[in-house]
């Protein structure tokens, strides 16, 4: 039987604030345990939470970026459960009235088509602490530095139909949160964590199958693999005559499988209710306007503009809008050299390859945008051929100075003087009478041989187009 997969994602993204969502403790990553956990984070008696304005501002920016409704009035609720890294016995979250309502993002499918994925809601909440299960004489160690860190939980509609779509959506959300500066999106540090709800149903069936929830996935690759495994597992269960159980599962990357978290089988009953310690959050028009006034052009809009105004291909436009820093770099190079296509080719080609190889981000590139523009200018004025330009690029990457300095130091100037090239050609023709005869007798393939000889004689510096042109004329005799 052909099965259809249905996937929805819940993404927890850490908001880029200095202090916690309800306290003035720092949120910096990597501090010694419990040095950033104050009385409020510890849930000591008598403390009261006070909401961080910046967390609200960042949530509003996200909502606006995905064209969602921003709730004029939203409410914080207590989600009750017991776990040692949750000191209060409840997590402050939002339930019935979240700050961000329904919105949507667009993902690109493998065939190039766009598909809209609905975002049901996004709400503000606090993170829990961290349990360390290493051996402390049979006890568990608790670090509450992370407790109270502001999170935006972004809940999607069950709109995805394959692991690829789920990954494309997750990447899209990751791109947006970084683009608009609400989160660093650092997955190693847990700033972007995904839970996936997944079920299967016979192709054509309307109602959803029973879903399993895979918790706490922290990489796109693991997301794809966990979903692939889970689809196969659910198909096996159903085709084997069984039923999928609604449960929480964990993905084990080492064994590449998902496993039931048996301890959580007790049906979750969080008994949400409005938190009496917090008043309703009201977002008025002024706050909304101020929070979103400086929202940058969003990646989808920028990609369209690159295609339309710069005539870039789909591929180039996508690649160059992968991050805001890369897009800015491209725009700077394109503006300086006046040839967007040339800029796109070099950034998407040699520069990206070199960055990947060195494991660097565009912000760490040893060649600045103006440096690359300087190199492209020497291609445009025909000082450099494409091949020489690659040599200059490598020298610039290695820190040997800007394009002009490298050209001068290495004598890499392209030879464009017609008479100089003709002198080289005459010498090659004189030295290879046999080949000339064969060529003239119709062995066209030998043309490449002559080009190679001339280029070698010029130490690779002769302008290749001129060599082609002049050789043809000379060999025609």
How buried is residue 278: exposed, middle or buried, by Cβ count under 10 Å (0-12/13-18/19+)? Answer: middle
Nearer to other proteins, 111 or 269 (CB): 269
In the complex, least distance from residue 363 CB atom to other proteins, rounded to whole angstroms: 24
The three-state secondary structure class of 91 is strand
Dist. CA 474–CA 392, nearest whole Å: 31
Nearer to other proteins, 54 or 300 (CB): 54
Contact yes or no for 46/156 (Cβ under 8 A): no
Q: Where are the beta strands (DSSP E) in 328-410?
A: none
Dist. CA 38–CA 130, nearest whole Å: 15
In the complex, least distance from residue 209 CB atom to other proteins, rounded to whole angstroms: 26
In the complex, least distance from residue 148 CB atom to other proteins, rounded to whole angstroms: 10
Nearer to other proteins, 91 or 458 (CB): 91
Query: Binders of other proteins among 396-415, rule CB under 8 A?
Result: none
Nearer to other proteins, 171 or 215 (CB): 215
- Piece of the chain touching other proteins by CB under 8 A; list 217-225, 271-279, 374-382, 448-456: 271-279
In the complex, least distance from residue 277 CB atom to other proteins, rounded to whole angstroms: 10
In the complex, least distance from residue 210 CB atom to other proteins, rounded to whole angstroms: 23
Kindly state whether residue 431 participates in binding other proteins, applying the rule CB under 8 A: no
In the complex, least distance from residue 270 CB atom to other proteins, rounded to whole angstroms: 9
Residue 417 CA to its chain's centroid (Å): 47
Residue 107 dihedral angles phi and psi, to the nearest 5°: -115, 155
Work out which of 34, 292, 323, 432 binds other proteins, going by CB under 8 A: 34
Output the DSSP codes for 224-259: HHHHHHHHHHHHHHHHTT------EEEEETTTTEEE
In the complex, least distance from residue 59 CB atom to other proteins, rounded to whole angstroms: 12
Query: Binders of other proteins among 119-148, rule CB under 8 A?
Result: 131-133, 136, 138-144
Helix (H) or strand (E) holding 196: strand 192-202
Work out which of 2, 30, 32, 112 binds other proteins, going by CB under 8 A: 32
Nearer to other proteins, 139 or 476 (CB): 139
Dist. CA 312–CA 239, nearest whole Å: 48
- Piece of the chain touching other proteins by CB under 8 A; list 15-23, 103-111, 366-374, 459-467: 15-23
Is the sign of the CA dihedral 16, 17, 22, 23 positive or negative? Answer: positive
Nearer to other proteins, 44 or 409 (CB): 44
How far is CA 265 from each of CA 171, 248, 261, 272, 339, rounded to the nearest angstrom? 31, 8, 7, 19, 60
Dist. CA 406–CA 394, nearest whole Å: 10
Find, among 78, 204, 123, 105, the residue nearest to 159 by Cα. 105
Query: Binders of other proteins among 53-112, rule CB under 8 A?
Result: 53-56, 73, 75, 80, 82-84, 97
In the complex, least distance from residue 465 CB atom to other proteins, rounded to whole angstroms: 59
In the complex, least distance from residue 184 CB atom to other proteins, rounded to whole angstroms: 15
Kindly state whether residue 279 participates in binding other proteins, applying the rule CB under 8 A: yes
Kindly state whether residue 1 participates in binding other proteins, applying the rule CB under 8 A: no
Pairing of strands 248-252, 212-217: parallel
In the complex, least distance from residue 103 CB atom to other proteins, rounded to whole angstroms: 23
Dist. CA 378–CA 391, nearest whole Å: 13
Kindly state whether residue 26 participates in binding other proteins, applying the rule CB under 8 A: yes
Contact yes or no for 440/475 (Cβ under 8 A): yes
Scanning the structure block, which residue is given the tokens 């964990």?
Answer: 250
The token pair at 424 is 């080289």
Kindly state whether residue 392 participates in binding other proteins, applying the rule CB under 8 A: no
For residues 394, 396, 402, 408, the Cα torsion angle rounded to the nearest 10 degrees is -50
In the complex, least distance from residue 150 CB atom to other proteins, rounded to whole angstroms: 9
In the complex, least distance from residue 89 CB atom to other proteins, rounded to whole angstroms: 8
- Site size toward other proteins, by CB under 8 A: 54
Work out which of 9, 25, 100, 166 binds other proteins, going by CB under 8 A: 25
Find, among 149, 123, 127, 160, the residue nearest to 8 by Cα. 160
Encoded one letter per residue, x for contact with other proteins by CB under 8 A and - for no contact, window 181-220 reads ----------------------------------------
Binding site for other proteins (CB under 8 A): 17-19, 23-26, 32-40, 42, 44, 50-56, 73, 75, 80, 82-84, 97, 131-133, 136, 138-144, 261, 263, 269, 271, 274, 276, 278-282
């Amino acid at each position: 039987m052909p099965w259809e997969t249905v996937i929805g994602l819940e993404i927890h993204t850490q908001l880029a604030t200095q202090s916690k969502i309800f306290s003035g403790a720092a949120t910096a990553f990597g501090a010694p345990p419990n040095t950033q956990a104050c009385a409020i984070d510890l849930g000591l008696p008598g403390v009261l939470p006070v909401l961080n304005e910046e967390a609200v501002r960042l949530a509003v920016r996200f909502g606006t970026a995905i064209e969602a409704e921003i709730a004029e009035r939203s409410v914080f609720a207590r989600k009750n459960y017991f776990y040692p890294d949750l000191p209060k016995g409840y997590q402050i979250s939002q339930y019935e009235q979240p700050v961000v309502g329904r919105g949507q993002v667009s993902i690109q499918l493998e065939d190039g088509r766009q598909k809209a994925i609905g975002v049901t809601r996004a709400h503000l909440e606090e993170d829990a602490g961290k349990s360390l299960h290493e051996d402390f004489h049979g006890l568990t160690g608790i670090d509450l530095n992370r407790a109270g860190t502001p999170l935006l939980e972004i809940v999607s509609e069950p709109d995805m139909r394959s692991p690829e779509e789920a990954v494309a959506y997750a990447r899209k959300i990751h791109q947006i949160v970084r683009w608009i500066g609400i989160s660093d999106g650092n997955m190693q540090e847990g700033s972007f964590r995904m839970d996936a709800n997944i079920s299967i149903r016979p192709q054509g069936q309307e109602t959803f199958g029973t879903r399993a929830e895979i918790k706490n996935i922290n990489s796109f690759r693991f997301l794809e693999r966990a979903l692939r495994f889970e689809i196969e597992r659910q198909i096996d269960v159903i085709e084997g005559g069984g039923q999928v159980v609604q449960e929480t599962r964990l993905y084990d990357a080492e064994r590449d499988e998902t496993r039931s978290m048996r301890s959580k089988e007790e049906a979750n009953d969080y008994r949400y209710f409005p938190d009496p310690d917090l008043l309703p959050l009201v977002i008025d028009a002024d706050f909304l306007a101020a929070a979103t006034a400086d929202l940058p052009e969003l990646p989808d809009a920028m990609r369209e503009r690159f295609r339309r105004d710069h005539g870039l291909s789909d591929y180039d436009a996508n690649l160059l809008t992968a991050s805001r820093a890369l897009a800015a770099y491209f725009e700077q190079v394109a503006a300086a050299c006046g040839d967007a296509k040339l800029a796109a080719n070099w950034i998407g080609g040699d520069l990206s390859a070199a960055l990947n190889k060195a494991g660097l981000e565009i912000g760490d590139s040893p060649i600045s945008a103006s440096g690359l523009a300087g190199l492209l200018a020497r291609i445009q004025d025909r000082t450099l051929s494409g091949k020489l330009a690659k040599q200059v690029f490598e020298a610039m990457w290695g820190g040997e100075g800007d394009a002009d300095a490298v050209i001068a130091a290495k004598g890499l100037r392209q030879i464009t003087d017609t008479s100089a090239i003709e002198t080289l050609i005459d010498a090659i023709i004189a030295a290879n009478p046999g080949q000339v005869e064969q060529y003239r007798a119709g062995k066209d393939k030998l043309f490449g041989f002559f080009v190679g000889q001339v280029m070698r004689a010029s130490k690779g510096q002769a302008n290749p187009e001129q060599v082609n042109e002049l050789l043809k004329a000379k060999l025609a005799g």
